Structure 1
Amino acid sequence: MTAARMGKTERAAWGFVAPSLIAIAVFFVLPVISALLLSLTDFDIYALADLSNMRFVGLQNYERLLGNPLFWGAMRNTMWFSVLGVPLTIGASLLAAVILNARTVKWRPLWRVMFFAPYVTTLVATAVLWNYMLHTRYGVINWMITSLGLPAVDWLGSPSTSIPAILMFVVWKIFGYNMLIFLAVLQTVPDDLYEAARIDGAGPWARFQHVTLPAIGPTLLLVSIISVAGFFQLFAEPYVMTQGGPSQSTVTVLYFMYEEGFKWWNLGSASAVAFILFLCIFVVTLLQLAVSRRLGGDHT
């Protein structure tokens, strides 16, 4: 291929990708840079009225946040959501995928639709429905508990049960999406591997450990990274179900950022929260990748 033709092909390629690159620059890169600059100012409701009221404060927003016990409470709640929610979500979705991948299960398409349906339903509508289900006196969950002779649980009114209650809803809502990802990769595993394992005398757990897990390893890493990022950014569920209560036991970092920015109009502080949250997700993702490489290296 001549140099002139190569240059023409290259220009054509840039022409095809240019609209996407422009959209990314306008709707992602510029807002991120603007938010970073905003986090270094005291931009608030007064600056909205007159930009001359805005001052450059450097890292004061970050220092103030790190000394704010409410921020650390939100961080602690977010960690609890992530530490409990990620294993539950991955475990439920992987279990459902393994079961539905078995050819002996009847009505597999129906079960897949039923498990995936909560993910595509409106979050606010399902959250309100779960509020009624978790109601102390009239909820169906407490009705089942009291029918067993046990006392009713104030799921959303007690700091000790509010996080587990929201976790039940979140896992039910999103595990179907991860299930489809696992199901897709499970269907690519050759049946010959399972047959060879059976001939060697491997039981169901041995086949899962030595055939299924190595085959879905990269997908498991992908799902874990997506799940961690999702739980770190939990907002709508506690906002609709508990409004951060009781006693701020369900205030997450993203909920705290929302209140800083749109309740108290401390937009500079809210931008600082966003970048601290990004740093946390970035560090956890790097740790996940490092652990995955280490385990992969040990396995080989």
Structure 2
Amino acid sequence: MSALGELRHIRGSTRGSPRKRDNRAALVFLLPWFGGLFFITLGPVVASLVLGFTDYNLIQPPEFNGVDNFTRVLSDERLHQALRVTFTYVVVSVPVQLACALGLAMLLDRGMRGMAFYRSAFYLPSLLGSSVAIAVLWRQIFGADGLVNRLLAVVGIEGRGWISDPGTALSTLIVLNVWTFGAPMIIFLAGLRQIPVMYYEAAATDGASRWTQFWRITLPLLSPIIFFNLVLQIIHAFQSFTQAFVVSGGTGGPSDSTLFYTLYLYQRGFNSFDMGYASALAWLLLMIIAAFTAVNFWAAKYWVFYDD
């Protein structure tokens, strides 16, 4: 090898060595993340899929039973009730929650003193709404001797057991979910700040009312943000568990009126020790959420408008 070739070889090796060292260092720092991905996330996901095809009671070794767990869902009446309760909860609470969030975002977008305080105060329920403490507080508020009945007694209206009445128990949980409008409100507020003011000025010059400006300018330009919040809140609503568990004492009562899908899944897995069936229910929930998300993405082309 000539002297020139040796020099090029030395330069190439010196350039490659630091890059290799950086790659090794990056791999070392990424090892904890990969460990969490494979052993905490992907591992349990694959394990639940395998257990969905077995009869497993958490004590004895799992026994393969084919698709029996997935066919049982067709004849499981309590599961059908859980689906009805969960669908009602999602279909009612999510649109109302987003409407409240958008209304407050538009109110805050006008500007007022103490804006940072109001944003923080309205966002706080989103941080606390899914906690056990708030669920316990909600049970006390809507109890027979709770705050709601005391306020109704002031105006001469007889109260009722909101939590113990099958006709109103689910409504209290819907109100709780609507109350946690802070996160979508902040996102709506950020989206409203991105709409150019000149659009509203031009519409006002042409004589458009505020209602017309809302329908013709605000909603179309804010539709990507509405779509984003809609998908996230639907997924979140399907996964609700803590509120129903605490309010009903883990039973889904009264008369299974608060039997959320996740609560029934928990009961099958950890109360009845039917972990194989619970795993199948978990994958059924995944397919339901995926179906709702796919429908939303399909329908988005008809009502979501982007800059292009």
TM-score, normalised on structure 2?
0.86
The CA deviation at 1:130 is: 1.7
Find 1:31's aligned residue among 44, 53, 58.
44
The CA deviation at 1:14 is: 7.4
Separation in structure 2 between the aligned mates of residue 248 and residue 25 of structure 1, nearest angstrom: 37
Contact 2:269 2:275 in 1 (8 A): yes
Change (3 A) 1:184 1:59: same
Secondary structure, in 3 states, of the residue corresponding to 1:45?
A: coil
Match of 1:211 in 2: 217
Match of 1:42 in 2: 55
Contact 2:53 2:66 in 1 (8 A): yes
Find 1:160's aligned residue among 146, 149, 167.
167
Match of 1:128 in 2: 136
Secondary structure, in 3 states, of the residue corresponding to 1:160?
A: coil
Separation in structure 2 between the aligned mates of residue 263 and residue 18 of structure 1, nearest angstrom: 37
Separation in structure 2 between the aligned mates of residue 33 and residue 181 of structure 1, nearest angstrom: 34
Match of 2:271 in 1: 263
Secondary structure, in 3 states, of the residue corresponding to 1:44?
A: coil
> Is 1:142 paired with 2:155?
no
Q: For structure 1, which segment, 71-80 or 125-134, has the greater mean C-alpha deviation from structure 2 after superposition?
A: 125-134
Change (3 A) 1:210 1:8: farther
Match of 2:6 in 1: none
Show structure 2 runs of 5+ residues with no match.
1-14
Separation in structure 1 between the aligned mates of residue 136 and residue 23 of structure 2, nearest angstrom: 53
* Cα RMSD after superposing both structures: 2.6
Separation in structure 2 between the aligned mates of residue 85 and residue 229 of structure 1, nearest angstrom: 12
Counterpart AA for 1:121: L
Paired residues, what number?
Answer: 291
Match of 2:290 in 1: 282
Q: Which residues in structure 2 correspond to 1:82-93 (within 5 Å)?
A: 82-93=90-101
Counterpart AA for 1:100: L
Contact 1:116 1:177 in 2 (8 A): yes
Match of 1:50 in 2: none
Deviations for 1:63-90, whole angstroms, at most 9, x for unmatched residues? 1122110110001100010011111111
> Is 1:175 paired with 2:181?
yes
Separation in structure 1 between the aligned mates of residue 198 and residue 238 of structure 2, nearest angstrom: 40
Separation in structure 2 between the aligned mates of residue 294 and residue 287 of structure 1, nearest angstrom: 12
Larger radius of gyration: 2
- Determine what percentage of the aligned residue pairs are the same residue: 29
Counterpart AA for 1:259: Q
Match of 1:115 in 2: 122
Q: Which residues in structure 2 correspond to 1:88-103 (within 5 Å)?
A: 88-103=96-111
Find 2:227's aligned residue among 218, 221, 225.
221
Counterpart AA for 1:282: A
The CA deviation at 1:168 is: 1.1
Q: For structure 1, which segment, 156-165 or 119-128, has the greater mean C-alpha deviation from structure 2 after superposition?
A: 119-128
Contact 2:51 2:275 in 1 (8 A): yes
> Is 1:293 paired with 2:301?
yes
The CA deviation at 1:4 is: 11
Counterpart AA for 1:80: T
Show structure 1 runs of 5+ residues with no match.
48-52
Contact 1:89 1:175 in 2 (8 A): yes
Separation in structure 1 between the aligned mates of residue 125 and residue 280 of structure 2, nearest angstrom: 33
Deviations for 1:233-271, whole angstroms, at most 9, x for unmatched residues? 111001011231101110111000100111111110110
Separation in structure 2 between the aligned mates of residue 264 and residue 160 of structure 1, nearest angstrom: 27
The CA deviation at 1:108 is: 2.2
Separation in structure 2 between the aligned mates of residue 83 and residue 6 of structure 1, nearest angstrom: 53
